Amino acid sequence: MASAGMQIFAFILALLGLFGATVSTLLPNWKVSADLGSNIITAISQMQGLWIDCTWYSTGMFSCTLKYSVLSLPAYLQTARTSMVLSCVLAALGLCLASLGLKCTRWGGGVQAKRHTAIAGGVFLIVAGFLCLVPASWFTSEVIDSFLDSSVPESNKYEPGGAVYVAFVSAGFLFVGGAIFCTSCTGKQRGPQNCPPNNKQQCCSASQPTDNKAEYSLQDYV
């Protein structure tokens, strides 16, 4: 089994991944307006997120609007919403299981139970990282394709925002943390102890099951 220090390191990475995934899900800057010249006069910056769109004005004021209609959203945005929420939920469950599988804790059962719990927590974290990586990649691809499309006016072109990069980093943290927890079950099984030549009879007799001892004792009386 992996050392307790590596498991604690993996737990910290997974905790940072969960925090980052949650923050990136709520941030409104998944894509920001591209500054291509004098295409924006009043509004300094426009940001769009998974749940809310915000506009910053040169006067220092800003306004935000929620995206109420789900069916009117494009497919990549709906997928990003669902995947990020599932990623946060699975990451939280994975952390709960991973905390039970830590070697430095007393709860979680015996060594074998902790090993299986650590594997389950690692699998949850890896799946959560995958669910965080897919929407970030798809969202970035859509933004870049729209930016490179010559038919789109400059005022409607956007660039990937900070929330996308936070999602990428969080996915990496979840992947690494989950992989460490999954590899924490690859410890070698302890085999039978080798008896020294001079104490072979005493050692082997001690390793015999109690039923065999009883059988031998009964045979002696026959």
The CA distance from 143 to 137, in Å, is 10
Burial of 89 (0-12, 13-18, 19+ CB in 10 A): middle
**DSSP letter for each residue of 141-154:** HHHHHHHH-TTS-G
pLDDT for 210: 45
The CA distance from 34 to 53, in Å, is 15
Q: Give the bridge partners for 48, in sequence order.
A: 31, 53
Say what the pTM is: 0.76
Give the mean model confidence (pLDDT) for residues 153-182.
91
On whether residue 46 sits in a domain, the answer given is no
pLDDT for 208: 47
On whether residue 211 sits in a domain, the answer given is no
On whether residue 58 sits in a domain, the answer given is no
What is the per-residue pLDDT across 67-120, written as a single tens digit (0 to 9) for each? 888 888 888 899 999 999 999 999 999 999 988 878 777 665 677 888 888 889
Q: Which residues contact 112 (CB under 8 A, 6 or more apart)?
A: none
On whether residue 57 sits in a domain, the answer given is no
On whether residue 87 sits in a domain, the answer given is yes
pLDDT for 94: 93
On whether residue 48 sits in a domain, the answer given is no
pLDDT for 91: 96
On whether residue 78 sits in a domain, the answer given is yes
Give SS3 for 64.
Answer: strand
The CA distance from 50 to 101, in Å, is 34
CATH number for the domain spanning 125: value is 1.20.140.150
On whether residue 157 sits in a domain, the answer given is yes
- At 157, the pLDDT band (50, 70, 90 cuts) reads confident
Burial 4-26 (b: 16+ CB within 10 A, else e): eeebeebbebbbbbbebbbebbe
Structural domain count of the chain: 1
Amino acid, single-letter form, for residue 116: H
Q: Which domain holds residue 99?
A: 4-28+74-186
